[in-house]
Amino acid sequence: MSEITINSYVILSTILFVIGALGVLLRRNAIIVFMSIEMMLNAANLLFVAFSRHLGNLDGQVLVFFVITVAAAEVAVGLALIVAIFRTKKSIDIDTLNLMKG
């Protein structure tokens, strides 16, 4: 057993980021894709906070505030788009977004 070092946080955040990225690439439900994106952003947030503590420098924590608020703005726009699409398609499967190809 060793002390919890910065490495543990980096590994955890990498795992979260990879889960998020795979979710975006593999899942077809728009809401789940969306949640996966949020997970990627939060993986980055975890990294910011961990590094901020590790380096004794507050910049990282300030950045987290910005990421959180920007993510909220993204959520608002994204959910509105999902609602708008659902109203005509009755589905939020992103594979049904296939009008344009080539």
Partner 1 sequence: MDFQPPIINLLIVAPLLITMGAGLFLMLLNIFCKRDGVYYWLTLAAIAAALVQNVAMWGHEYGTFIARGSYPMVVSDNFSVFLNSILLLSGIGTLLISRNYLHRTKLERPEFYMLMLFSLSGMMMMGMANDLILVFVALELLSIPLYIMAGLAVSRDDSKESAMKYFLLGAFSSGIFVYGIALIYGATGATALPAVYAVLEAGSPLAMAGTAFLMVGFAFKIGAVPFHMWTPDVYEGAPTVVTAFMSVGAKVAGFAALLRVFTVALPAMSDAWMGALALIAALTLIIGNVVALMQTNIKRMLGYSSIAHAGYLLIGVAAAGQHSEAVGSVLLYMLAYLFTTMGAFGVVIALEHKLGEGIMLEDYKGLAKRNPWLSAAMLVFMLSLTGVPPTGGFSGKFYIFRSAVEANLWWLAIIAIMTSVVSGYYYLRVVFYMYMFDGDRTEPVYAGTALKTGLLIALVGTLWLGFFPAGWFELAYKAVIGTTQLLAGG
Partner 2 sequence: MLDNWQFIAIFVLFAPLIPGAAIGANWLLSPKKPNRIKQETYECGVEAVGSSWIQFKVQYYIYALVFVVFDIEAVFLFPIAAAYGLLGAFAVVEIVLFVLILVAALAYTWGDGSLEWV
Binding residues for partner 2 (CB under 8 A): 1-4, 65, 68-69, 71-73, 75-76, 79-80, 83, 87
- Give the whole-angstrom CA distance, residue 27 versus residue 11: 23
- Give the whole-angstrom CA distance, residue 89 versus residue 17: 31
* 68 within 8 A of 98, measured Cβ to Cβ: no
What does the binding site for partner 1 look like in residue numbers (CB under 8 A)? Answer: 6, 10, 13, 17, 20-21, 24, 30, 33-34, 37, 40-41, 43-45, 47-48, 51, 54-55, 57, 59-60, 62-63, 66-67, 70, 73-74, 77-78, 81-82, 84-85, 88-89, 94, 97, 99-102
